[in-house]
Amino acid sequence: MKINPFESAKQQLHAAAETAHLDKNIVEQLSAPDRYIEVSIPVKMDDGTQRIFSGFRSQHNNARGPYKGGIRYHQDVDLNEVKALSFWMTFKNAVVNVPFGGGKGGIIVNPKELSEGELEGLSRGYMRQMFRNFGPEIDVPAPDVNTNSTIMGWMRDEFEKLTATEAAGVITGKSVSEGGSEGRTEATGFGGGYVLREALKAGLVKGDRKTIAIQGFGNVATYLSEYAAEHGFKVVALSDSKGGVYTPDGINISEAENHKKTTGALKDLEGTTNITNEQLLELDVDVLVPAALENVFTADNADRVQAQFILEMANGPTAPEADKIFAEKEITVIPDILANSGGVAVSYYEWYQNMHDEKWSKEDVLSKLDSLMVEAFNEVLAAKEKYQTSFRTAAYIVATQRLTEKML
């Protein structure tokens, strides 16, 4: 049965509400998006026919600042997924204390089936239907699954044409030459690395081998594994959609990157053994990092997880039933809304630079990000100790208390 991510998200909030006796009206308000917009987008295809695509935007909450969140292109995007993702954005931004709310959008499409011209028509069409709901102070989208800086560039251009304004701050995740921020590419992976470093300092990573297994080898996993390897961790396993590789001696990350570039996959990397994604999640390692997909930990496999420390870099990788099993097994889980918030934090820096016509260096951006993540980690740790609860519930408590200050 497909797990409904929006139901999982609400359960996480309700656990925090019970633990910290949060304001009932605020919790009720946060349990549904402010607004949900659905549009039909007509696109002229290369063969002269017209196709209609469905596009969405969920604007969850803007009490702390403009709605903020990516736009994904996927054939399976649906209402509950977009709602859950916009919900998590609200809490993520509140945990790292950046003045944004939560939003998320999507189009039902397999972008690999479209030509470049059709993709541009679709992206401009989405903005034409939605532009009244967007704006630097209203709702600020960004790239997500299957969207990138080129697509964001088309959308920004369309927005500026329709509103006759110049509005670099209407979208983040732009290329640096188009007003994007230095350090955005590294931000999510490095942000997770800073949290891992702090957790290690706080004595939360048990075991002295400092071994780490990472599911995924995309943007987030690559920078996290680089950071971890540079800070004394041994990355013993990595994977992509075609499978994983393992060696107890530690993987050389740049060799893995080269191998993936030349062969198109990680498997058969020299000096490693091929494993499945399922095997990777059940390895006997000190740190386990899901950095690919939602709902990878369920009631079916949570019992077999051996790692005592999980850093959630993917959004929503742990289903609530799996969370319960992890709690029983006393596995420490650093939740997505803290662990992967480095990306949106630097999106805020990008927006801020656009709004104030500033340009920060990569060192400056990453050093600001480091301080922000350390602060967020310490606040969540303090709430965890105060309420004697999990990191996830503590993160929701910190975020909801911040939201409450603006919503009462």
Tell me which residues are annotated as active site: 104
Q: How many CB atoms lie within 10 A of CB 207?
A: 13
Q: Is 8 in the site for ligand NAD (CB under 6 A)?
A: no
- Of 52, 57, 51, 53, nearest to 38 (Cα)? 57
Which residue from 15, 17, 196, 314 is in contact with ligand NAD, where contact means CB under 6 A? 314
Task: Starting at the earlier edge strand, list the strands of the sheet with 50-61.
Answer: 35-44, 50-61, 102-108, 67-74, 139-143
Cβ nearer to ligand NAD, comparing 158 with 336: 336
- Span interacting with ligand NAD, options 37-45, 100-108, 205-213, 309-317, rule CB under 6 A: 309-317
Q: How many CA atoms lie within 13 A of 334 on its CB side?
A: 35
Cβ nearer to ligand NAD, comparing 148 with 165: 148
Cβ nearer to ligand NAD, comparing 43 with 280: 280
Taking the complex as a whole, how short is the minimal distance between the CB of residue 70 and ligand NAD, in angstroms?
Answer: 8
Residues 272-291: x where in contact with ligand NAD by CB under 6 A, - otherwise, as a string: -----x-------------x
Cβ nearer to ligand NAD, comparing 315 with 404: 315
Q: Where are the beta strands (DSSP E) in 159-258?
A: 211-215, 234-240, 243-246
Q: Is 151 in the site for ligand NAD (CB under 6 A)?
A: no
Taking the complex as a whole, how short is the minimal distance between the CB of residue 123 and ligand NAD, in angstroms?
Answer: 18
Taking the complex as a whole, how short is the minimal distance between the CB of residue 291 and ligand NAD, in angstroms?
Answer: 5
Strand partners, 73: 107
Cβ nearer to ligand NAD, comparing 41 with 319: 319
For residues 85 and 4, is the Cβ–Cβ distance under 8 A?
A: no
Q: Is 313 in the site for ligand NAD (CB under 6 A)?
A: yes
Taking the complex as a whole, how short is the minimal distance between the CB of residue 73 and ligand NAD, in angstroms?
Answer: 12
Residues 204-243: x where in contact with ligand NAD by CB under 6 A, - otherwise, as a string: -----------xxxxxxx-----------------xxx--
* Cα–Cα dist 33/259, whole Å: 43
Count of residues of this chain found to bind ligand NAD when the rule CB under 6 A is applied: 20
Q: Is 292 in the site for ligand NAD (CB under 6 A)?
A: yes
Strand partners, 41: 53
For residues 71 and 321, is the Cβ–Cβ distance under 8 A?
A: no
Cβ nearer to ligand NAD, comparing 98 with 291: 291
* Cα–Cα dist 90/394, whole Å: 15
Helix (H, G, I), strand (E, B) or coil at 328: helix
Which residue from 3, 293, 327, 374 is in contact with ligand NAD, where contact means CB under 6 A? 293
Residues 172-201: x where in contact with ligand NAD by CB under 6 A, - otherwise, as a string: ----------------x-------------
Please tell me what DSSP assigns to residue 345. Answer: H
Alpha helices by DSSP H, listed for 63-167, are 79-95, 116-130, 149-163
* Cα–Cα dist 327/123, whole Å: 43
* Cα–Cα dist 173/131, whole Å: 18
Taking the complex as a whole, how short is the minimal distance between the CB of residue 40 and ligand NAD, in angstroms?
Answer: 26
Cβ nearer to ligand NAD, comparing 121 with 342: 342
Three-state SS sequence of 161-185: HHHCCCCHHHCCCCCHHHCCCCCHH
Helix (H, G, I), strand (E, B) or coil at 356: coil
Taking the complex as a whole, how short is the minimal distance between the CB of residue 214 and ligand NAD, in angstroms?
Answer: 10
Helix (H, G, I), strand (E, B) or coil at 288: strand
Interface contacts to ligand NAD, rule CB under 6 A: 188, 215-221, 239-241, 277, 291-293, 313-315, 340, 343
